[in-house]
Amino acid sequence: MSHMINPLVDTVYTPDLPVFRHTWHSMNDCVEGEIALDGSNVPHSFNPILDCQINPQLPEGFEMDETTSEEMKKWKLIIADCRQGKSGKVHPLHVPKEGYAIHDNKLLFDCMVKSASNVLGQNGFKIVTVGTLDSYKQFFVSIAIGGHESFEMAENDRWFQYFNLISSHNGLVSSSRMLSMIRMVCMNTVQASISESEANGTRETIRHSKNSLELITPEIFESDLNLWINQSNTMKQAVSDLQAVSMNCDDFKSFACGVFTASDSEKISTTTFNRISDLESLFVRGKGNHGQSAYDALNAFTEYFTHGNGIGKKASDAQKIARANFGRGNDWKKEAFRILTDDVEMTEASERGERLLNEYLDEKKSKE
């Protein structure tokens, strides 16, 4: 159960809109129309999270001396009061030290929505998923950013951006907000969004420390969102610039070989050669591609490691999502983008790739 949705306790809400009503696990509940800005139509997301003093029932013969009693006072029990929720029960979540601060789900949700409203305007975004995971131990929100959540770079090729939040009530992760191209709908996509945003420098965390509630304000969230949107516009421009960089099939094969090899590589394997051949086909005939530019090269890598053979011909849907978004496939996509947008790296990778490809073909020809 890698999605970590317990259907007896957790609810994942999505709006009943064509773009957002579908999830890969199909365990979401659609709300009529859109998710309300006040969260009023996603009630199971906001059951109270409470702390309780520990009153241990000690084993027979175990004496509660003064030292033990003082030590026990340093700890508390965190519970989710879901008596009015889906399960109708109270769920123990975590046993942290006394200084642990609860980050309330509704407080986090309201800060996300308020900061998005301040930056984008009330009509500039949509709340596209809200929910809990792992029997109420995790809470998450995904907000599609209007004008940024879907921008088209080429024919039938869209890039998405989301303002995401994940918080934990069991010590698994700090409360984190981030800008990501991954919409959170489960634990798989939460992990993917964290991985991507960390790599891009678009993630901020708040530990559950004693004074941490001072950091959960719309103003602080707003400042980060503004910064990240500006960064994403720079990234969008970099992707757009690749469309003006000419590239033919030979150029692409040399580049692709350079991506898959290190500076000290002495040869390539048959597996690598076959992978380059598959990518060449996507460079020329992939969705929205024409085999003419560096953008087509990036798009070939994206398609290959998101929907193509790069994520495994026999992989399950869950495995494909994992590999495409936070496995080795995602690493190759990022590496391709990094090299394409760095002139020095591009020259070195292409020269190395051309040499290794020629040596591979010469060796293959000599064996025939």
Which DSSP string do the residues of 303-333 spell out, in sequence order? HHTTTSGGG-TT--HHHHHHHHHHSHHHHHH
On whether the CB atoms of residues 311 and 318 are closer than 8 A, the answer is: no
CB-based contacts of 158: which residues, under 8 Å, 6+ apart? 150, 151, 152
CB-based contacts of 361: which residues, under 8 Å, 6+ apart? none
Domain boundary among 182, 210, 237: 237
pLDDT score of 184: 93
CB-based contacts of 298: which residues, under 8 Å, 6+ apart? 239, 242, 336, 337, 340
Mode of pairing for the β-strands spanning 12-15 and 28-31: parallel
Domain boundary among 237, 267, 288: 237
Is there a domain that residue 177 lies in?
yes
pLDDT score of 160: 66
CB-based contacts of 138: which residues, under 8 Å, 6+ apart? 4, 132, 166, 167, 168, 169, 170, 172, 173, 187, 190
Q: Are residues 349 and 288 in the same domain?
A: yes
**Looking at residue 293, what DSSP letter applies?**
B
Residue (of 304, 293, 358) closest to 332 by Cα position: 304
Structural domain range at position 222: 12-43+101-237
How far apart CA 147 and CA 164 sit, in angstroms, is 16
CB-based contacts of 168: which residues, under 8 Å, 6+ apart? 137, 138, 139, 174, 175, 208
Q: How many residues does the chain have?
A: 368
Taking phi over 0 as left and psi of -120 to 50 as alpha, with beta for the rest, 143 belongs to beta
Q: Are residues 110 and 217 in the same domain?
A: yes
Question: Which tokens is 16 given?
Answer: 């009943």
Strand partners, 154: 157
Is there a domain that residue 1 lies in?
no
Q: Are residues 119 and 230 in the same domain?
A: yes
Q: Are residues 149 and 208 in the same domain?
A: yes
Q: Are residues 215 and 169 in the same domain?
A: yes
Domain boundary among 237, 269, 284: 237
Q: Are residues 294 and 361 in the same domain?
A: yes
Is there a domain that residue 232 lies in?
yes
In the numeric block, the tokens 């139509």 are attached to 41
Q: Into how many domains does the chain fold?
A: 3
Q: Are residues 232 and 256 in the same domain?
A: no
Please give the backbone phi and psi of residue 352, each rounded to the nearest 5 degrees, phi first. -65, -45
Is there a domain that residue 215 lies in?
yes
Helices marked H in 122-269 — which ranges? 187-200, 218-241, 249-259
pTM of the model: 0.69
Is there a domain that residue 4 lies in?
no
Question: Which tokens is 149 given?
Answer: 């959540």
Is there a domain that residue 88 lies in?
yes
Is there a domain that residue 5 lies in?
no
In the numeric block, the tokens 């496939």 are attached to 329
Q: Are residues 225 and 327 in the same domain?
A: no
Q: Are residues 35 and 123 in the same domain?
A: yes
pLDDT score of 339: 92
How far apart CA 46 and CA 199 sit, in angstroms, is 31
Report residues of the chain scoring pLDDT below 70.
Answer: 1-2, 147-160, 307-330
Q: Are residues 205 and 315 in the same domain?
A: no
Question: Which tokens is 329 given?
Answer: 């496939």
Residue (of 136, 12, 25, 122) closest to 83 by Cα position: 136
Is there a domain that residue 6 lies in?
no
How far apart CA 262 and CA 367 sit, in angstroms, is 26
**Looking at residue 224, what DSSP letter applies?**
H
Q: Are residues 107 and 26 in the same domain?
A: yes
Q: Are residues 226 and 306 in the same domain?
A: no
